[in-house]
Chains A and B, each alone.
Chain A
């Protein structure tokens, strides 16, 4: 015999397979195909998901050293007064050393004393023109409070006591389809110009102190790159007058020159160190460090003046990036001296000491 005996199990097995295949007739291709699909599926699964599941790479690096000094989940009750609470506060300003929290859900501003108790409530009972409707941002220029009264399409300029100095109606004939501006971010420049993020037209609008529209930066629709923004949010101005704008849905921070020209950007959509999932607000300290709150990463990321990533703030164990978040939905930011205030929409006011 030329051919040696085949291994018994092999020939039997093959015959068995052959018979089954014949029995199945043309349907066997379906089986083969299903097998292949399953195999391919497994390969795709392993390639696409396995390494990520193993390493779980979210923001896991560089905790930024910041000591939690104070946390007010709700304001402290004032002696003899009924307890008071805020509802989804969005921001905070400091004026003459006093903290003013924007109580967005209750359409009012709460003035806090040093102990964190409500000293005064600014709403329409003080001045009926303080008709707040879902206000989203607050700032100060050292003399007045500026409030982005988002639902009413206006900027209110208030004294610390809550009297209306000026109500700037953001009438904007250039708005596409005549949609009135919806201001959600705000900063006051050294020369008194008011910079406003308009979520309705995706532009940053510059008004002079009298409320005249001087400049509109952006395309008037959702844009990216150097052309414009996709929902501009928080605004901050550094010591040199450069303007930092959070471009929420493009996941970046855009740097503009004092006259509004595009200088640069940092960040991109993502959920790792130095990228943004849903950036909200920005603040800059005396040394030029840039703080950016992110509502979806539940963290505040810190960058150097050139946009270099320095780390992030907001873990329960300040040194352990994998411990749970202190925040739920961090939004408003404010730097005062070496203190960074973070306003969380659900968890209230945090104060961190950030050392230069």
Chain B
């Protein structure tokens, strides 16, 4: 018996640790976040990890749409709330008339989860990384010497009067930073690009880069008057 107890204890401890990492780790992030939508008797997790005979890897419901369609994977889950009912925020992420960052629907880490994790509110907007350049550069590589400088102090204040938030930038994302910091912050990828709803055919830029009627670039002019 004495010989059985230590390995069992180790095994139980390891299982508990794994469980805690998997469940409580996530729980710690979700609880109190904008994705904590619990009501008495219905835990926060149940809204996405649908209980009872749920099937699939993560116990959340997926529509019966066949693979290969555009509306598969996590999208139906996200849209089930971000459709104007549970929240009016972010419906634009599903607006087929807007240009969106390319994704591979239904494929893990190539779908919405290439930038978001529904459990981690720390960086704002449930993003995987701190706002701006870090997130984008995790895939797009470091800015080269001929690229526009990023992570530099944005010494110039944007000419907000020229900024039309209804074109391109739909989240009301500030010109500067996805986390919402104002002028005086650093230039980030999202200073010029937007993940959702950039202008059509413009590499997701939030303002027209080229103006057919003049030689001035509206995007650049924002900060370089």
Contacts and interface: CB of A to CB of B under 8 A. Distances in A.
A37 B13 CA distance: 10
A280 B85 CA distance: 8
A53 B71 CA distance: 22
Contacts of B63: 296-298, 325, 327-328
A21 B97 CA distance: 66
A163 interface: no
A224 interface: yes
B88 A151 contact: yes
Contact of A225 (B10, B40, B65, B91): B40
A30 B47 CA distance: 39
Interface residues of B, number: 43
B81 to A, nearest CB: 7
A249 B15 contact: no
Interface stretch (A12-20, A187-195, A264-272): A264-272
A220 interface: no
28 contacts: A29-B7, A30-B10, A32-B7, A36-B11, A40-B11, A40-B15, A52-B53, A57-B53, A57-B55, A58-B64, A87-B96, A105-B91, A184-B84, A199-B86, A224-B40, A225-B41, A248-B85, A249-B42, A251-B42, A269-B52, A271-B53, A271-B54, A277-B80, A297-B64, A298-B76, A324-B66, A328-B63, A329-B80
Interface of B: 6-8, 10-11, 14-15, 37-42, 46-47, 50-55, 61-66, 71, 76-77, 79-81, 83-86, 88, 91, 94-97
Given A233-B85, A271-B50, 20 more contacts: A32-B7, A36-B7, A36-B8, A105-B91, A222-B38, A225-B40, A249-B47, A249-B86, A270-B50, A271-B53, A271-B61, A272-B53, A277-B50, A278-B81, A295-B80, A296-B76, A296-B77, A297-B61, A298-B76, A329-B80
